[in-house]
A and B are shown apart, each in its own frame.
Chain A
Amino acid sequence: MRNLLNFLARYSNLIIFLILEGIAFYLITNGNNYQSAKVVNGFRSLTLGIESRISNFRNYMNLREINKTLADENAVLRNNIQLQSIKDNSLFFSVSDSINKQQYYYTSAEVISNSINRQKNFFTISKGKRQGAEVDMAVTAGKSVAGVIVGCSENYSVVMSLLNLDFRLSAKIKTNGYFGSLSWNGLDNRHAILSEIPQHVDVNVGDTIETTGYSAIFPEGLEIGTVSEFEKKGGDFYHITILLATDFRNLHHVNIVGNMKKTEQLELEKQFQ
């Protein structure tokens, strides 16, 4: 017994150290992964007060630029409406079945806190369950991809940024429709990697890369970026570097995109898996 006590006294620091590291590792392995951003959420809600204040201040400083992007977006949307109404008028009769036509619905949100310098970046936005946000909804910045919601609280959501090593997205080359898998390599916040494009495909610098819409999360045709360089690297596939269209350093207003037909698609697909 005395030996045991001696042992404990002698190595007490080591034991405390191991216990504390054990707790820390428990937190890491149980809280850091893709699915359980709940912990992140719980942590975040404590600090959101301070962070929304900082972000308010930053928003104020950037008002001019934000106004400009919003105005640009409005212009594009107006054009779309014009096109849309022309198309409708060409029909002999009009169908007012909004459910069948509309697949995606959009709502805007503000970015409250954002990070770009980690390997697994998340940002927090100002809409949550109460405003209709759900896990696995897409988040876009203007017309380009920003991330996917991984956790919602009542009034806030945590979004896994495209700048996250765990982020995967199916993406295609706009001109020829070949699709591959997009991921971030952790290098810098302006570039991402598109892989699995076979080498017989014609790729050019400057080609637009957009979403495929296969995942039922992102609508088809959202801009991701442009090809900035590509190389043939072993195997049969290209290694394509993409200049992202979204500037994550300057992310203030985003849109949440919900897919009305998502459950339908997933249910159907599940039957064949």
Chain B
Amino acid sequence: MINSIIRYSLIFIILILLQIILFNNIQFSGYMNPYIYVMFILLLPIEIPSWLLLILSFFTGLIMDFFSGSPGMHTSATVLAGFSRPYVLRVTSPRDGYEPGSDPSMLIYGFKWFFLYSLIVVLIHHTALFYLEVFRLTDFFRTLLRVILSTLFSLTFILLIEYYRRGK
């Protein structure tokens, strides 16, 4: 128990630092902004109680808001991602169900499953985030394009990180 708390705190700090120091500074173009910190929500144990998941999402988002100077946007998007995660897990569930006490990792459930699972959660998160950022529905399709491109960009990095994590 304590072991896993330490492990997840470590993952959390690493992801947040990566996001702030590296990914927030990738100013590639307005269309591609990777937000990889949402990966923390992806990696939490499958059997984590929903309320804890929600509260952790809330604080993850709040910290991101602290660091990017945008009150509320990240919080709202991440809470939504945390809320939808159990449903996504149910939808993408493998035929034999999940092993009790396991993490949603690429190592256990394979690349294809992890890809689908993260794609859905990241897409939900980014959709909420980018529409909240613009906060208007004019240029609806341009925002949609930003959502899609950024999702692909973030997903690439998340899969890479997960792949390297698996190697250890």
A binds B: yes
Give the interface of A toward B (CB within 8 A): 12-13, 16-17, 20-21, 23-32, 39-40, 43-44, 46-47, 50, 54, 113, 115-120, 122, 124, 158, 165, 185-189, 249
Does the CB pair A188–B51 fall under 8 Å?
no
Instruction: Please name the residue on chain A nearest to B58 by beta carbon.
Output: A20
Does the CB pair B30–A43 fall under 8 Å?
no
Q: Which chain B residues border A20 with CB–CB below 8 Å?
A: 54-55, 57-58, 75, 79
With A16-B51, A16-B54, A54-B25 given, is the CB distance from A43 to B71 under 8 Å? yes
Interface size class of B (residues with CB under 8 A): 35 or more
Instruction: Please name the residue on chain B nearest to A163 by beta carbon.
Output: B30
Q: Which chain A residues border B66 with CB–CB below 8 Å?
A: 43, 46-47
B120-139, CB < 8 A from A: 132-135, 139
30 A-B pairs in the complex with CB atoms less than 8 angstroms apart: A13-B51, A16-B50, A16-B51, A16-B54, A17-B83, A20-B55, A20-B75, A21-B79, A21-B80, A24-B76, A25-B72, A26-B72, A28-B72, A29-B72, A31-B72, A32-B70, A40-B69, A40-B70, A43-B65, A43-B66, A43-B69, A46-B66, A50-B21, A113-B69, A116-B30, A117-B27, A118-B33, A120-B70, A189-B27, A249-B27
Query: B115 interface residue, CB < 8 Å from A?
Result: no
Q: Which chain B residues border A39 with CB–CB below 8 Å?
A: 71
Cα distance, A40 to B66, chains bound together (Å): 8
Instruction: Please name the residue on chain B nearest to A32 by beta carbon.
Output: B71
With A54-B21, A117-B28, A117-B33 given, is the CB distance from A13 to B75 under 8 Å? no
Q: Which chain B residues border A47 with CB–CB below 8 Å?
A: 20, 66-67
B15-29, CB < 8 A from A: 20-21, 24-29
Interface of A is mostly: helix
Query: B104 interface residue, CB < 8 Å from A?
Result: no
Cα distance, A165 to B139, chains bound together (Å): 12
Other than A39-B71, A40-B71, A119-B134, give 4 A-B pairs with Cβ distance below 8 A.
A26-B72, A31-B72, A43-B65, A43-B67
Q: Which chain A residues border B58 with CB–CB below 8 Å?
A: 20, 23-24
| Chain A min CB distance to B59 (Å) | 10
Instruction: Please name the residue on chain B nearest to A165 by beta carbon.
Output: B134
Q: Which chain A residues border B21 with CB–CB below 8 Å?
A: 50, 54
Residue of B30, B55, B134 touching A189 (CB-CB under 8 A):
B30
